[in-house]
Amino acid sequence: MTTGCANNTRLEAIVLAAGAGSRFGGGKLLAPWRGGVLLDGALSAAFAAPVRTVTVVTGADAERVQAAARAFADKAGETARLRVVHAPEHAEGMGASLRTGVGALPDDTEGAFVFLGDMPSVPSGLANALAAALKDAAVAPVFEGAKGHPVLFARSLFPALVALSGDRGAKAILNDLGDGLALVASPDAGILWDVDTPADLACTKDQS
């Protein structure tokens, strides 16, 4: 796999993979997808980003999710760049996963991409455009006026991310940035597609 990682980068990637997938019926990130599992889509985009390492945050079904992440990294030749951390309070919601992932980053990290494990269709190369646009706060992709994922957060926002609680993601933090949130146009709607149910997964396959 070709990576956009530059030798002097201090960016990292976090893949949130701690959810139980209750609306899916459980085991969502391990559902079959393109010859692998659903999680592979997010991992592929994360490893292609200009980052030093990819940190996968596990929670529900932690052992199987970790095994799937390691299998993908091994197959892609990215074993050395994979890090896995467990969010012990994952049942609390996305806030717990985010603060675990951010809290596990190296001390010299200058920015972190946050990928969602159930979003398998992030356009190739998008992360490089986000990195180029990062200045003071954060960068998000946008398609036809709708903001999506992944989001790249500058180090200045890490304290707010590790202070999150409950099932609150970073949406409120981004909304408070105003013009401090840079936007990068996405070439397609992959930044908006997430999988909640088996029907969503079928739809995503059809869109590929």
Domain ranges of the chain: 11-207
Over residues 105-132, the pLDDT tens digits come to 999 999 999 999 999 999 989 999 999 9
CATH superfamily of this structure's domain 11-207 = Spore Coat Polysaccharide Biosynthesis Protein SpsA; Chain A (3.90.550.10)
pTM listed for this prediction: 0.92
Handedness of CA 89, 93, 95, 99 (dihedral sign): positive
- pLDDT per residue as tens digits for the range 12-28: 999 999 988 888 888 89
Q: Are 61 and 31 in contact (CB under 8 A)?
A: no
d(CA 102, CA 111): 10
Strand ranges in 43-150 using DSSP code E only, listed in sequence order: 54-58, 82-86, 111-116, 138-143, 146-147
In angstroms, rounded to a whole number, what is the distance separating the alpha carbons of residues 24 and 117? 14
pLDDT in tens, 31-45: 999 899 999 999 999
Supply the mean pLDDT for the chain.
Answer: 90
Burial level of 202, CB count in 10 A (0-12/13-18/19+)? exposed
Residue 28: name the closest of 75, 79, 64, 77 by CA: 64
Query: At 112, which amino acid appears?
Result: A
DSSP character for 193?
-
**pLDDT, tens only, 188-202:** 999 999 998 888 877
